[in-house]
Amino acid sequence: MRSTGGWGGAPSSSFTAGSPLLGACASTSGRRCLPLSRTGPPLVNVPTLTDGVVTPARPPTVRCGGCCRAMSGPGYDPLDVGPTPYARDDAVDFISVRTPSAWADGTQALFAIEAPHADGTRLFSGSVGLLHRHDGVREIIFGVHPQVRGRGVCRRAVRLLVDWGFSEYGAELVLWRAAVGNWAARRVAWSTGFTFDGMVTSLGSQRGERRDIWIGSLRPDDPREAPAPLAHPPVDDL
User: Quick one: which H or E segment has residue 81?
Assistant: none
Write down the pLDDT at residue 33: 30
Q: Please state which architecture CATH assigns to domain 2-218.
A: 3-Layer(aba) Sandwich (3.40)
Spatial neighbors of 185 by CB under 8 A, at least 6 apart, are 18, 19, 20, 77, 142, 176, 178, 238
Closest CA to 177 of 220, 227, 211, 127: 211
Neighbouring-strand partners of residue 206: 209
Is the N-terminal amide bond of 20 cis, ω within 30° of 0?
yes
- Whether the CB-CB separation of 226 and 193 falls below 8 Å is answered with yes
User: pTM for this structure?
Assistant: 0.75
Predicted confidence pLDDT, tens digits, the chain (238 residues): 443 332 222 332 222 233 332 233 333 333 333 333 455 676 667 788 999 998 887 644 445 555 655 555 554 454 455 566 667 777 777 777 777 888 888 888 888 888 998 888 888 888 889 999 988 999 999 888 888 888 899 999 999 999 999 999 999 999 999 999 888 899 999 999 999 999 999 998 877 789 899 999 999 999 999 887 787 655 555 5
Write down the pLDDT at residue 40: 64
Spans of all domains in the chain: 2-218
Closest CA to 25 of 36, 37, 13: 36
SS3 6: strand
DSSP structural state of residue 75: T
DSSP class per residue in 158-188: HHHHHHHHHHHS--SEEEEEEETT-HHHHHH
DSSP structural state of residue 79: T
Spatial neighbors of 144 by CB under 8 A, at least 6 apart, are 20, 22, 70, 113, 125, 126, 153, 154, 157, 238
For residue range 45-98, what is the model confidence (pLDDT) as tens digits?
778 899 999 888 764 444 555 565 555 555 445 445 556 666 777 777 777 777
Spatial neighbors of 180 by CB under 8 A, at least 6 apart, are 199, 211, 212, 213, 214
Write down the pLDDT at residue 174: 98
26: left (phi over 0), alpha (psi -120 to 50) or beta: beta
